[in-house]
Amino acid sequence: MKLLSETDPEGFSERARKPTTTECPRQAGPQARVSGKEPVPPAKRRWVPPSTLRHQDANTPESRNDVVFRKVRGILNKLTPEKFQKLSDDLLRIELSSSVILKGVILLIFEKALDEPKYSSMYAQLCKRLSEEAPNFEPPDTPCTFRVLLLNKCKNEFENRAATFKKYGYGDNTLEEEERRQLAKRKMLGNIKFIGELGKLEILAESILHRLVKILLQ
C-alpha cells in the first residue's frame, strides 16, 4: 500500500486538492489551506547571519576590551629594539580608555618581560613611555595611574613567585612539583631583572626596591 507522500509530492491526493461539495478542505494545524496552497509554517527561530552576531557581541565591554588586548599583544610580539619607536607609537595610539584596559596592558607587558629577560631593558623603556603618556583614571578611592598599577603588579608578581618557589623548597618533589618550582624560579629571576631595569629608569622608587630585596632574603 502506497503512502500519500508517494503518490503526491505535496502529501495530499488530487481529491484533497479539489474538494467536492460533500467534503470540506483539509486543514494543516490551526491554519487552513487557502486556494489549494500549502500553509507557511511559522518560523521557530529567525536566522541571523554570523556577521550580525559578531557585530552584536562586539558591542559588549568585554569584547571591546578583548579587541584592544589582541592589538596590544600583536604589537608586543613584533617589538624589537630596532622597531621600538614605531611600535611604541602604535601602542600609544590604541585607545586606553579604562583602568581595566590599562591593567591588561601591564599584564601583557609583564608576561613578555618575564618570558624574554634579555629584553627587560626594552620593556622597561616601554613602561616609562606609558607612565609618561598613558591616561590616568580616578576611581573613588585612590588615583589609578599607570605607575601605580605597575607598582602593584611588580609587588604581587614578586611575592607570588617567591612564595611558590619556597613552597616546593628543595625536598622530594614530584616531577610536576619540580617543574612548578623551576618555572617559579625562572619567572622570579626574570621579575627581579625587570624590576631592576624599572629602578634604573626611576619608575620604581629606591625604597620599593629595598623592600622587595628584603622579601627575597626572608
Q: Is residue 27 part of a domain?
A: no
Mean pLDDT of 171-179: 79
Q: What three-state secondary structure class fits 11? A: coil
Q: Is residue 142 part of a domain?
A: yes
Dist. CA 68–CA 70, nearest whole Å:
5
pLDDT in tens, 74-98: 999 999 999 999 999 999 999 888 8
Q: Give 209 or 60, the one with higher predicted confidence.
A: 60
Domain hosting 88: range is 60-217
What's the total number of domains in the chain? 1
Q: Is residue 50 part of a domain?
A: no
pLDDT grade for 66, boundaries at 50, 70 and 90: very high
Q: What is the pLDDT of residue 20?
A: 47
The neighbouring-strand residues paired with 55 are none
Q: What is the pLDDT of residue 70?
A: 95
Q: Is residue 28 part of a domain?
A: no
Q: Is residue 6 part of a domain?
A: no
Residue 76 is placed in which grid cell?
608586543
Q: Is residue 82 part of a domain?
A: yes
Q: Is residue 20 part of a domain?
A: no
Residue 136's CATH number: 1.25.40.180
